[in-house]
Amino acid sequence: MSKIERLPDICGVCGVCVAVCPQNCLKITENVLEILEGCDNCGYCLQVCPLGAIKMEGGK
């Protein structure tokens, strides 16, 4: 099964992904992006990340 993962060394914590998540499963806490339970791995965040800091593990 596919799973969204963030690449912490690349993530600039800009919040673009948080704004587009239809499930509201992305959250920035203390300058760290968190992927919360309930993520259905739709890939919207992956598509909008300007730094390519989100990947789909396992392929979708």
Q: CA neighbours within 13 Å on the CB side: how many for 46?
A: 14
The pTM assigned to this predicted structure is: 0.86
DSSP tag of 26: E
Say how many domains are in the chain.
Answer: 1
pLDDT of residue 60: 45
pLDDT of residue 17: 97
pLDDT digits (tens, 9 = 90+) for 9-47: 999 999 999 999 999 999 999 999 999 999 999 999 999
Q: Which domain holds residue 23?
A: 3-57
Burial of 18 (0-12, 13-18, 19+ CB in 10 A): middle
CATH code assigned at 49: 3.30.70.20
pLDDT of residue 59: 57
- In the numeric block, which tokens belong to residue 5? 């993962």
